[in-house]
């Protein structure tokens, strides 16, 4: 991975992380201020809590991606240490899907006349779980690469002893 690509990715990560922290702070401020509508037509407090938690899952994934990019730059990504970050990313994606399903459940009573919205929201949650499965497959590929790297190192050591 080239220096330009690493710098560009890190710049994007910083911008997204800064933006999510800002939005999260606004959500917490709104929670503390209690600015829900007087008529109670929208359950804003639970939705704001869900938004804060959902943004938190994205932030966790962003930090792990930053760490993996650092490992790529150093040439240490094909090691057992990378699994920790990939596992946390998978967990964050699953948590995001669960948070989304909670938002769908809270929104569902208001969609009785148009249940298609709830079905679409549920479909989005399933798609997010699909992303977690894709990352799990990528984790398996990383495991194979690490195993091959270890095997190659052992063969090289054996060859060194023979020579």
What letter would DSSP give residue 77? -
Residues spanned by the domain of 20: 1-161
Radius of gyration over alpha carbons of the chain, in Å? 21
Distances (CA, A) of 153 to 66, 81, 143, 149: 28, 17, 15, 6
- Residue 13 confidence (pLDDT) above 80: yes
The pLDDT value given to residue 107: 85
3-class DSSP state of 113: coil
The total number of structural domains in the chain stands at 1
pTM: 0.84
* Spatial CB neighbours of 107, under 8 Å, sequence gap ≥ 6: 47, 117, 118, 121
CA dihedral 90→70→24→131, nearest 10 degrees, is: -30
- Percent above pLDDT 90 for the chain: 56
The pLDDT value given to residue 36: 62
- Residue 43 confidence (pLDDT) above 70: no
pLDDT in tens, 18-41: 999 999 998 888 888 766 655 555
């Amino acid at each position: 991975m080239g220096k330009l690509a690493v710098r560009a990715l890190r710049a994007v990560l910083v911008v997204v992380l800064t933006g999510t922290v800002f939005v999260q702070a606004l959500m917490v401020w709104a929670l503390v201020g209690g600015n829900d509508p007087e008529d109670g037509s929208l359950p804003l407090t639970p939705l704001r809590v869900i938004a804060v938690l959902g943004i938190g899952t994205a932030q966790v994934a962003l930090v792990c991606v930053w760490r993996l990019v650092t490992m790529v730059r150093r040439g240490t990504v094909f090691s057992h240490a990378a699994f920790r970050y990939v596992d946390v990313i998978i967990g964050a994606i699953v948590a995001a899907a669960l948070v989304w399903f909670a938002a769908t459940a809270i929104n569902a009573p208001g969609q009785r006349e148009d249940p298609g919205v709830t079905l679409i929201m549920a479909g989005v949650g399933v798609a997010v779980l699909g992303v977690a499965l894709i990352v799990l497959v990528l984790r398996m590929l990383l495991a194979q690469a690490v195993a091959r790297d270890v095997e190659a190192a052992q063969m090289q050591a054996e060859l060194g002893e023979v020579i």
